[in-house]
Amino acid sequence: MNPFGSLSSMHSTWPVILVTYNLPPSLCMKRKYMMLTLLISGRKQPGNDIDVYLAPLIDDLKILWEKGVKVFDAHQNETFNLREMLFCAIQDFPAYGNLSGYTVKGKTACPICEDRMKGKWLKNSKKMVYFDHRPFLPCDHPYRKQKKAFNGKQEFKKRPRDLSGEEVFQKVKDIQITFGKKSRAGISKQGYKKCSDFWRLPYWKHLFVRHCLDIMHIEKNVCDSLIGTLLNVPGKTKDGENARYDLKDMGIRSELHVVEGKPKKYLPPAAYTLSRKEKKVLCESLAGVKVPEGFSSNFRNLISMENLKLVGLKSHDCHIMMQYLLPVAIRSILPKNVRYAIIRLCLFFNAMYAKVINPKDLDNWETEIAIIICQLQMYFPPSFFDIMVHLPIHLVREIRYCGPVHLRAQWSFERQMKTYKGYVKNAYRPEACIAEKNFYEDLVGSCSQYLENAKIIGLPISKHSGRMEGKGIIGHKKRDLSYEEWHKAHTYALFNEDEVTPYINKHIDHLKQFNRKTSRKSLLSQHHNSFRTWLKDKVMRELNDPLYVVSDRLKSLALGPNFRASFYSGYVYNDCTFYT
């Protein structure tokens, strides 16, 4: 993260956060239970040298697994030996390579397939792509025999086998590396380039999933590629002259090759190409969306109707786009087959975020995502299928071993890093500000457990809190009242008290004696304005007269030392609050 609240990469601070994973799902990813264990200072990112910073943490994790620590259980009133296991590591894809030691760029960029799924270099687009996903289909699927729709060849290879942790450990255990920016000689450009420090944990090689894929950034990158290609956004579209020349080099889709003309070159429209009218319909449908507060950004502010493109999309905006809006926005502007393929991709990401998953559906999902990507290959150019479009093929595998993705996604950590950015008050020492503020927050959080009715730091209060008890909060705004408004409230409370009713009639009779010719409307106005002070004088005279008996209730109403204090103390209404 950049601790200065900027999106630039001029400064990079790396927090290492531990989360207690065996808490209930409602508490697991809350800020209170996130422990900032390391804070790697910038300004440059550690890269592959991150193992040097992680070494003390790995030593502690190793001790907690092998020996454990004595912990007192206040509920059982006994001491037990606490042990701990690192379940998995959660990071974005570039950090995946730094932590695992695998090269996530080049011909074998997929850390799960490794060299069993090799990419293809596009000479004109100058990028590595993973164009053919038919090996992930069932053996008898008809797409395997089709040539023209794919790369001109039939495909009968089996799905690449996932290596076990022991097999990976045998590959990396003998790799020697000297840490430091200047010591890069002899490092492999493909495959594993170092033996990660995590392998020192005794159980690490027995885990099925050691580093989780970040579905948040995968979904964002896929959404950016789709939107950029559909709207033909310069710099973000995967289509263009170079992409059409790549089709010609591969010898496929001759109807889409560049037509060489004398005035200028002509690119024939593809199945995903939108006219200006269709682009306008897509943008207008997104700009007209109205969503509840806090659901997403206002898409009207993210759409440029002049240039017909989306600008400034954040990760959550792309998430909402893929989950809900894009299937509706394209329902009438694309050919049926292309539209159905994109909608099926959106529905797949929606299913991945489900909080309750039936294990029997996982096999069908694995087949479904393979079919979806193959259908996209029939219509979109090869340059569209970078490593981020390939990675969804492995998401179902991680759900099978690690459970639903909503407890392994980056959303909670992105919010936590936003909190850390707010701690920086001294730009010269950003990491020190974060560490000090985090220490004081933990200290106050521990003390608040011993205080009654204290607000717990890091556990947000739902905006629906209190509605089940009959206390409405939606549509109301709490504010303090002026003295004039408090006097009106005091008078209103007096008029609704049974013990004050006899005095109301007396006060009206009193006013009639001195204002016989006054209209009823004017009389009631005087009664409303002067009753509070008249009652106070009346009760004071009765208190000094032994013939009268004044109840404590009436005394507190009329002679309270401060109506504001008596109002809150419950003499008038219990727990009463004025709203406007």
Q: In the prediction, which pLDDT does 185 show? A: 53
Given a contact cutoff of 8 angstroms between Cβ atoms, the answer to whether 344 and 373 are in contact is no
Taking residues 69-98, report their average pLDDT: 92
Q: In the prediction, which pLDDT does 381 show? A: 92
Given a contact cutoff of 8 angstroms between Cβ atoms, the answer to whether 338 and 272 are in contact is yes
pLDDT tens for residues 220-239? Answer: 999 999 999 999 999 899 99
Is the per-residue pLDDT at 478 higher than 80? no
Q: In the prediction, which pLDDT does 419 show? A: 92
Whether the ω angle into residue 161 lies within 30 degrees of 0, i.e. cis, is: no
Neighbours of 204 (CB within 10 A): 19
* CA distances (Å), origin 389, targets 66, 90, 319, 377: 40, 19, 15, 11
* Residue 80, phi then psi, degrees to nearest 5: -135, 165
Radius of gyration of the chain (CA): 34
Cα torsion 149, 153, 155, 160: sign: negative
CA dist., res. 196 & res. 190, Å (int): 16
Report the interhelical angle of 362-379 vs 336-352 (nearest 10°). Answer: 150
Whole-prediction pTM value?
0.78
Is the per-residue pLDDT at 56 higher than 70? yes
Q: In the prediction, which pLDDT does 486 show? A: 82
Residue 42 confidence class, pLDDT cut points 50, 70, 90: confident
Q: Which of 390-394, 478-482, 558-562 has the lowest mean pLDDT?
A: 558-562
User: 3-class SS at 325?
Assistant: helix
User: 3-class SS at 164?
Assistant: coil
Q: In the prediction, which pLDDT does 466 show? A: 58
Residue 10 confidence class, pLDDT cut points 50, 70, 90: confident
Taking residues 279-295, report their average pLDDT: 90
Amino acid at 229: T
Residue 576 confidence class, pLDDT cut points 50, 70, 90: very low
Q: In the prediction, which pLDDT does 563 show? A: 42
Percent of all residues in the chain with a pLDDT value above 90, rounded to a whole number: 52
Residue 570 confidence class, pLDDT cut points 50, 70, 90: very low
Q: In the prediction, which pLDDT does 181 show? A: 65
CB burial readout 426-458, b (16+ within 10 A) else e: eeeebbebbeebbeebeeebeeeeeeeeeeeee
Backbone angle region of 425, left / alpha / beta, with phi > 0 → left and psi within -120 to 50 → alpha: alpha
Residue 564 confidence class, pLDDT cut points 50, 70, 90: very low
Is the per-residue pLDDT at 135 higher than 60? yes
Taking residues 468-486, report their average pLDDT: 67
**How far from chain centre, in Å, is Cα 200?**
32
The one-character DSSP state at 205 is G
Nearest to 367 by CA among 343, 391, 348: 348
Is the per-residue pLDDT at 572 higher than 60? no
Cα torsion 261, 263, 265, 267: sign: negative
